């Protein structure tokens, strides 16, 4: 039996489903979750949508979003997870990316199903529908819906899938966009009678004055390295305090870096209370997923991320930049522009220890 047929059989056979996705869910995560939930509800299944984190403010308009609970660890929530026949994880393939939900999902005896387009999935899933060349998890969910019954695609389901695909392809401009992806988008627009302008505006035309002030500070301090092939910005906590902006306000900042002529790789360092988030974006064959993995993260070839604790912002910036040629061979090592400054012996030791630690962890996991 093919993987797709096995998953469709799973949908038909079981009654109680829990659907979840990664921490800090984005458009692909929420769109895929809502679309699959809508499909299963149309099939008469009992569906429970629950995540570790709430949706970002620019996606709270999405149809059905009110159905998604935020996990707080209550007995009622744990009981619904425990009694599920199937737990479906979408748009992430690592247990720790489920945040506060991880232990409850791991402890459940339910069948674990993965639908995802990231590389190197962990091995605790019972059934996987994975293709890392897919434009988005939304594309994979669309394929399952079409295989089940294309006439089940109504306005709500079409909206969720369109948001998933559109946001994860950078509004259809990334290399993952194929003729097939455009045909999927056309089908969704037709079946849902959607307004592309309204959807795009609801997601992207929501910047606050605080966001623009933060962007101004960030752009003022952007840096170029590796002969202009790498651009990066640093968002320190003091900058959020100064402007009154939140981390949600940083959405899309990294795209400004990629728009600079000659830049092939963009990095955004965001300091929050618990650590530092590093966003990696790139163009063409400048792949950044292994680079992000070296710092405990992961993702796609051209879009990845990592989260690092217990270090200073300055030290991490230098460490990430110094590691660039090791993971992106096109970036020729040049002593004059390799890092933002000279690594101290202490920082060099930190970088070596961190990379060795992450490399060993990756080897153990694989």
Task: Tell me whether domains 3-204 and 209-365 share a fold.
Answer: no
Average pLDDT for 95-115:
95
Longest dimension (CA), the chain: 63
Which H helix or E strand runs over 272?
strand 265-272
H/E run at residue 135? none
Phi-psi region at 252: left, alpha or beta (left = phi > 0; alpha = psi -120 to 50): left
Give the DSSP letter of residue 87.
E
Summarize the confidence of residues 36-42 as an average pLDDT. Answer: 98
The answer, yes or no, to whether residue 357 has pLDDT greater than 90, is no
Q: Where are the domains of the chain?
A: 3-204, 209-365
The predicted-structure confidence for 129-147, as pLDDT tens digits, reads as follows 999 999 999 999 999 999 9
Specify the higher pLDDT residue, 360 or 220: 220
Q: Can you give the pLDDT at residue 356?
A: 55
Alpha carbon 355 to its chain's center: 23
Q: What topology does CATH give the domain 3-204?
A: inorganic pyrophosphatase (n-terminal core) (3.90.1640)
Task: Please give the pLDDT value at position 349.
Answer: 54
Please tell me the pTM assigned to this model. 0.82
Band of residue 342 on the pLDDT scale cut at 50, 70, 90: very low
User: What is the third-level CATH fold of 209-365?
Assistant: Diaminopimelate Epimerase; Chain A, domain 1 (3.10.310)
Query: Cα(62)–Cα(260) distance, rounded to whole angstroms?
Result: 32
| Burial class of residue 193 (count of CB atoms within 10 Å of its CB; 0-12, 13-18, 19+) | exposed
115: closest CA among 91, 86, 146?
Answer: 91
283, burial (CB in 10 Å: exposed 0-12, middle 13-18, buried 19+): middle
Q: What is the pLDDT of residues 162-183, one digit of tens each?
A: 999 999 998 998 888 999 999 9
**pLDDT tier, 360 (very low <50, low <70, confident <90, very high otherwise):** low
Determine whether 13 is exposed, middle or buried from the number of CB atoms within 10 Å of its CB (0-12, 13-18, 19+). Answer: exposed
């Amino acid at each position: 039996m093919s993987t797709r047929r096995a998953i469709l059989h799973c949908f038909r056979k079981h009654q109680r489903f829990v659907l979840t996705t990664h921490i800090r869910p984005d458009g692909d995560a929420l769109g895929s979750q809502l679309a699959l939930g809508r499909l299963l509800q149309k099939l008469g299944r009992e569906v429970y949508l629950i995540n570790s984190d709430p949706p970002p403010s620019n996606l709270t308009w999405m149809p059905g979003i009110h159905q998604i609970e935020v996990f707080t660890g209550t007995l009622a929530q744990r009981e619904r997870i425990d009694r599920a026949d199937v737990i479906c994880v979408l748009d992430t393939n690592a247990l720790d990316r489920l945040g506060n939900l991880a232990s409850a999902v791991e402890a459940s005896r339910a069948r674990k199903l993965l639908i995802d387009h990231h590389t190197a999935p962990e091995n605790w899933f019972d059934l996987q529908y994975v293709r890392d060349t897919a434009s988005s998890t939304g594309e994979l969910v669309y394929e399952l819906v079409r295989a089940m019954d294309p006439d089940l695609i109504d306005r709500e389901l079409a909206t969720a899938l369109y948001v998933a695909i559109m946001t994860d392809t950078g509004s259809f401009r990334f290399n993952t966009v194929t003729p097939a992806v455009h045909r999927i988008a056309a089908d969704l627009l037709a079946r849902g009678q959607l307004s592309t302008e309204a959807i795009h505006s609801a997601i992207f035309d929501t910047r606050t004055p605080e966001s623009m002030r933060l962007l101004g500070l960030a752009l003022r301090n952007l840096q170029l390295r590796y002969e202009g092939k790498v651009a990066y910005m640093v968002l320190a906590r003091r900058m959020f305090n100064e402007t009154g902006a939140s981390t949600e306000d940083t959405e899309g900042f990294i795209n400004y870096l990629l728009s600079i002529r000659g830049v092939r790789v963009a990095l955004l360092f965001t300091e929050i209370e618990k650590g530092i988030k590093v966003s990696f974006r790139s163009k063409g064959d400048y792949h950044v997923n292994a680079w992000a993995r070296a710092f405990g993260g992961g993702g796609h070839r051209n879009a990845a991320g990592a989260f690092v604790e217990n270090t200073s912002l300055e030290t991490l910036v230098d460490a990430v930049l110094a590691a660039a040629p090791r993971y992106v061979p096109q970036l020729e090592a040049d002593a004059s522009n390799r890092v933002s400054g000279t690594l101290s012996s202490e920082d060099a030791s930190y970088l070596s220890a961190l990379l060795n630690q992450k490399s060993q962890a990756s080897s153990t996991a694989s």
